[in-house]
Amino acid sequence: MRKKVVAGNWKCNTTLQEGVELAIAVNQLVAEKGAKDVVVVLGTPFTHLTSVISAIDSKRIGVAAQNCAAEAKGAFTGEVSASMVKSTGAEYVILGHSERREYYGETSEILNKKLALALENSLTPIYCCGEALAIRNAGTQNEYVINQLKETVFQLSAEDFKKIIIAYEPIWAIGTGVTATTEQAQEMHKALREAVAEKFGQEIANETSILYGGSCNAKNANELFANPDVDGGLIGGASLKAEDFIQIINAY
């Protein structure tokens, strides 16, 4: 059965001390009342990875970087490689977030290099895809998002694709307070699962976790996660409050 995953994306928020405090609070709530069948992941800034990993029970909570370099190593000032991420003890890496695509020019070509390096270093990519409002308004969102997959994760072998978590994040819903309706989320997730089935077969499609992201919070998670093809969430703003985050973890 495919995994249910609730992953927090802290983005460029929290000092190291604040991040560790938040991780400790989430860890405590997960230990006290976290749903046992949900994989919980904290996507922290690079600077926090080691300290957050030391502060949590790694049997219950995984940790993700929010990016990794497109090169393995070398003269790339300021970059953090997949092997460096792995060496902190992190198990996941968020790749292709729309903010990275939009503000840092991440193309499918760059993402393919990052995906390959993440997989070579045994990191689980949480691969983000999603359309802008103009594409949604034009009604071409399904083709657009499936094409994002075709250009990237569908280039992988079936063996490697099985290691990927997909996060559908409509750009118009990220950080805006506007959430996709439960119908919009289900329609897209179903279309993505069908595309995975077409490419890699039904068995792999059935096992692929497809998360929803975009203003998902403690109030609406329940309804969104009730959809048969929504396997959890990638959570931005609401992952910065431990009390909200635990409610989302327990929203199934």
Residue with the shortest CB distance to ligand PEP: 236
Sequence length of the chain is 252
Which of 48, 97, 99, 131 is catalytic? The answer is 97
Q: Which residues bind ligand PEP (CB under 6 A)?
A: 9, 169, 174-175, 213-216, 234-238
The reply to whether 187 belongs to the active site is no
**Shortest Å distance, C-beta 241 to ligand PEP:** 11
For ligand PEP, which is the closer residue by CB, 88 or 98?
A: 98
For ligand PEP, which is the closer residue by CB, 19 or 236?
A: 236
For ligand PEP, which is the closer residue by CB, 61 or 173?
A: 173
Phi-psi sector, 215: left (phi>0), alpha (psi -120 to 50), beta: left
What is the signed CA dihedral for 210, 103, 105, 178, rounded to 10 degrees? 30
| DSSP secondary structure of 118-161 | HHHTT-EEEEEE---HHHHHHT-HHHHHHHHHHHTGGGS-HHHH
The answer to whether 123 and 89 are in contact (CB under 8 A) is no
For ligand PEP, which is the closer residue by CB, 214 or 232?
A: 214
Question: What is the DSSP-derived secondary structure letter of residue 56?
Answer: S
The reply to whether 189 belongs to the active site is no
Which of 106, 131, 169, 189 is catalytic? The answer is 169
**Shortest Å distance, C-beta 151 to ligand PEP:** 20
Residues known to be catalytic: 97, 169
